[in-house]
Amino acid sequence: MSLIALGIFAIISPFFILAIYRKHKSVYKNIPGPPPKTWVAGNLLELVFQKSLIIFDKWVQEYGSTYKWAGIMGVERITTVDPGAINFILQNVKLFVKPKGQMLALKRFVGDGLVNNEGAAHRRQRRALNPAFSPAHIRELGPVFHRHAENMKARMDAIFDGSVQDESVLHHDNLKYKDEKQGLGLDMLALSERSAGDTVASAMFGYEFNFVNDPTHPVIPALRNASYIAINDLDRALAELSETFPWMDKIHTPGWKSGNEAKLTTWKYGKELVEKRQAQQAEVDDYEGKDVLSLLAHSTGTDPNLREDLKLSSTEALNQFSTAFLAGTGTTGAALAWAFYYLAKNPKVQEKLREELNSVGTDEPDSDTLHSLVYLENFTHELMRIEAPVPLVVREPIEDIFLPVSRPIEGMDGTKSDSILVSKGTMILIPIQSVNRDKRIWGEDALEFNPDRFDRNGLPAEKIVSSYGNILSFIGGLRNCIGFRFSMAEFKHTLFSVLRHYSFEELPSTPKIAAHLPIAVTRPHVVGMSGPDSYKMPLVVRRLDH
């Protein structure tokens, strides 16, 4: 045996022994699941290098609602789409926490923000920000949402008029596609994300970036890079590996560096804005601002009457700024792009929705008016069900615990059980898309896009702890998405302004679009393409005559 072979054997032997040991001591021997592909990587390669989320659907079909699978060196993990198990996990936030590896991966993009903390720190940060996302304050933001929706529509008008040549939006594979009805190939993801970024900055921070009209703004690369990094294979693989080997998060990949640059870019603006708002607050007694920036400035200020449970450090404030800005831009921007995609795929749905929007008796409806539109609500609900902005809920118990299930688990030996003993530190994955598309909850056509399903009796057939309409897209319980009302109102205002004046169709080449599995936020991905340029939503857009 050569010295090189001996060296390799010496390195891998301990891990091989560890894998065998874990296999024989497993507490999940009787739980079904896919066999590991390799003893080193388990099933991780199947998960990390998937270009979509369908692997979870495949495993649910083969192994049931609750199953096990193997991570690095045989570390066993549990995945469940069982409503009883999900409800138990989401309702017991002190028993089930986010894994360290996931928080390390998120930290490189947003620091220790609201989505990246547990326990007392999370409660304090959320308490400080709650007023900015209350129903009353979101209602007051209606004019801001409308203004930026109209800005997006105006940018599209300028592109069609030829008064601007926006190369970042024009779809280059389709530049020649322009017929007598003035159809253009446009990347609706780029335009939607820029509009969402403007809306978040304006409504949350009182700042006007004007991304829609300035595609060269220096913050835009940071936004796009952060989104791409979170879904590229290398950084997702390292995020998975850091669950077993925490030191691997210290590896500074190109993705890590770009992610850190995105965070520092948002920090730069955040620091300037917080300091400016603090100066404004100091000049006015009883400053009543309820936007995110005002709350951050007040929580880090010198008010002697500020409660201890509302105080934030300067670093915490910057982390909240990054979290709100990057998350708010990425989720709503992608949701709008998906909306235009499903409208293009379903022309009858598009026409019905446009007819309802045209029936509104004003060009400037408030948010309550939009929320009262039944088909718009059904469309929004269905869009969020079929394309969740966040792909996974990941938790681990802080102690050994029996996890109840509402769908009995059939063990490898044929016995059935209504609970499973989950060991302390075992990662539990809840694939949101699989839950949202579960036929046992939403009917046999659950994989299809159909806004009319919400008019049926008997649906949903099973209940999920949820912030919005029995779907997991904004999670549920005490760790639900704090900004879901903000996102829904912004989404509806944008559709109102754009869809009344523009129609959407698939490109003649009908490229396949899929949601790419990320660390944080899903984005539309053109199948067959790679790199940052693969994340787009190319559609034929036509201006309507009025």
In a domain, 41, yes or no: no
In a domain, 40, yes or no: no
CA angle 310, 482, 275 (to 5 degrees): 45
Residue 149 has pLDDT above 60, yes or no: yes
In a domain, 448, yes or no: yes
**pLDDT tens across 421-439, in order?**
999 999 999 999 999 999 9
Crossing angle of the two packed helices 142-161 and 484-499, in degrees rounded to 10: 40
Residue 245 has pLDDT above 80, yes or no: no
**pLDDT tens across 82-103, in order?**
999 999 999 999 999 998 877 7
Residue 497: CATH number of its domain: 1.10.630.10
Q: How many Cβ atoms from other residues are within 10 Å of residue 16's Cβ?
A: 14
Q: Which residues contact 466 (CB under 8 A, 6 or more apart)?
A: 472, 474, 475, 476
**pLDDT tens across 461-481, in order?**
999 999 999 999 999 999 999
In a domain, 36, yes or no: no
Stretch 362-371: mean pLDDT: 98
In a domain, 34, yes or no: no
In a domain, 39, yes or no: no
In a domain, 149, yes or no: yes
**pLDDT tens across 31-83, in order?**
999 999 887 888 877 876 665 678 888 999 999 999 999 988 788 999 999 99
In a domain, 33, yes or no: no
Stretch 367-378: mean pLDDT: 98
Residues in the chain: 546
pLDDT band at 21 (very low <50, low <70, confident <90, very high): very low
3-class state of residue 400 by DSSP: coil
Residue 501 has pLDDT above 50, yes or no: yes
Contact 256, 235 (CB under 8 A): yes
Contact 384, 473 (CB under 8 A): yes
Structural domain of residue 316, as residue ranges? 3-26+46-543
How far apart, in whole angstroms, are the C-alpha atoms of residue 365 and residue 360? 8
- Domains contained in the chain, number: 1
Residue 175 has pLDDT above 90, yes or no: no
Does 481 show up as a binding residue in the annotation?
Answer: yes
Q: For residue 11, what pLDDT is reported? A: 43
**pLDDT tens across 393-416, in order?**
999 999 999 999 999 999 999 999
